Structure 1
Amino acid sequence: MEFMPLTRPFIGEEEEREVIDTLRSGWLATGPKTERFEREFAAYLGRKHALGTNSCTAALHLGLLALGIGAGDEVITTPMTFVATANSIVYTGARPVFVDVEPDTLNIDPRRIADAITERTKAILLVHLYGHPCEMDEIMDIATRFGLKVIGDCAHAIEAEYKGRKVGSLGHVDCFSFYTSKNLTTGNGGMLVTDDIEVATLAQCLRDHGMSPGAWARYRTGEFRHYEMTRLGFKCIMWDVQAALGLQQLRRLEKRHHRRLEIARWYEALLQPLNAHLEILRPRSYVKHSYHIYAIKIKGVDRDRVAHIMEEKGIGVGVHYRPVHLEPFYRQTYGHCHGEFPVAEDAAAGLLSLPFWPEMTEEDVHRVVETLKDAVLAS
């Protein structure tokens, strides 16, 4: 039987035509398609400004810098995320300060944030894990009380909503990933969104070598203009071939999200008989979950053994994530150790991500669950 991957991108004829149009246009780098994608993405979220980048990591890095985060500062964040979240803080010279997570969502626990704030704390970098929104009312209240900036890592959460509002509209800066596995993909790529014109202007300068304006802005005026490098910047721009994919992916995003919700319901119903061996992470009633990843917590049996058996039987699985503070770099650099964040560590020991993408069939889901059942019983 054919191996079933953990996820699978969908590229349709519309994306192909948009990319071909870009290739024939003669403008492949940052240009009119990137500008259009930025404008439409901002409109989707209800934001004033959007800046395409080459990754969410780059967007987070630029966003932190544009908010004034730098050497000697501290940024509170979650250990339950991909390493890129914390790495973006380290790139600025600041220190990531981890706090534990909620047991049911695995998002940063607002009740623990205030205790981690010091005179060096400048921001909170939160992650809407798997696409389930963080408790934004509480987090924004804390940020206001202590004068902190909030940066949202929305890599999993394009469609997600908190009490009727897009989560990507709630932070001072929010950042998105368009990696190949994401709900909207451009192969690689990212986006920074904000309502603050000063933050947007600085981030735009930093993303293209510290030059103002960028190549496309100079070109489209039709006038000869010199460029000036005003800051030490980076090379992390989006280019029009990526944006061409993004334009068409954005158009099908909500339709595919409805399918994600249907597949999640299939999984939940079929997994009920295995309740003694696993925990389903259910969304809270007042959120819209984007279901980027469908993760469960294995109980009472060895998760790695279950994963090994499933892979042997042709079912791709994943672990999202290993706690960042226990990665060798963070242990060696900052002295972290086991036991600091018990909720995150306990959850991580049992987490297992199951195959999940909108084109899956009900038969596919049945196959995954039957294989999971066999693997659990054999472990």
Structure 2
Amino acid sequence: MVLERQLGQVRGAAADEAVRSAVDAVFVYMGSGSPGRRRQGKELVRLMEAARKTAAEAGEWHVVRLLQDSLDYAEGRILQQDLEERYRIFQDGARRERSRDFVASSLRTMHQWLVAAGEAYLREHPGASAEETLSHFRAQGEDAAFLRAPDDRPGRYVIPRGAAEISLWLERLLRSERIDVADPAESARRIVGSPQAMALLAADREGRLILQAAELRRRAAGLEELRAVVEDRTATEADLQRALEGNHWIFGGRFVGEAARRRLVPGDEVDIPLIRGDGALHIVELKRAMSLDAPLVKRHRHAWVPAAHVHEAVGQAVNYLVGLDEHRARIREELGIETRRAGALVLVGHPGLHPDVPEGEVNETLRTFNSHVTRVEVLTYKELLDNAERSLAGGVEPV
């Protein structure tokens, strides 16, 4: 009823009969829906804009300002509390102390949560920069609109990560000229928050296209961030690991996820533990990219061969695999992960480290080396990124 009361004040402030008639048309439309519910949508906005134009033509600029506030509220640019406070709709002119106390309490609680969440994030990411921390909270804030209260966890709330991305795509579709939806943002939020609605969307061909487009957009953004870290000559292995977290798709379609634990063998902690479709483990060993202070390849007689740093990285990966083999029974029993067929990928360096060597020569040298090594593959970060980029362009998983 807030908008209705505010528009009532607008009509009372209007002196011109044409302006009052235009506001009356807004009231008629809002009341033409189902009983007890305000009718909204694009037509409501159009009628309010028409009333604003009529007021401007009549020279009633104070009414124009009031109608602009009405439009801002109807389109979500002014919140209900703000509108109530601004026009004293539900009170006789005195400021409501309860509203002030509510805002103060909310701000205090929010800041306490931010401090606690920030400390937890920095414990997990001790090397995170200020921008990375802000990006984390920025994304979490967008997902907070989809807060859920699971029935099986009374008193607990869950913020589903990534929901905001899908909701944005849905909202844009619902705002298109082809579909007239009263509140696109609210409709998109309800769809994303409902497993049943998401299931229906996934079952529909066009719905699947929307979900796929949202996922491709998310992947493209992640790939761009990773490329920036890879090409940073000061980036550490920890920086690269943070950029790769949650992006196992980059390594190819044969991987279905990441293992929850990185320390599978006493004394060894793998960088990224991937799970293949057959349930077997595949570890990724990360070395530096453009910040590597050692050559990737060297000239030996009449050919290029992998340099010592590559051999050391492969040796480290082999040692991990040996440990996994020796603890296979325990890992399978405790974690349900098969390590007998485990493999390893070593990510190291960048062709840009060798400006005097053609990129094709660097890649071919490592491919030749890989063909003679079992269970371990060596790849530069650039080749990994290029493969992933081609997969996005073609709409398929990298291989």
TM-score by length of 2: 0.21
Instruction: Identify, as 1 or 2, the structure richer in helix.
Output: 2
Decide which structure has greater strand share.
1
Please give the TM-score of this superposition, normalised by the length of structure 1: 0.22
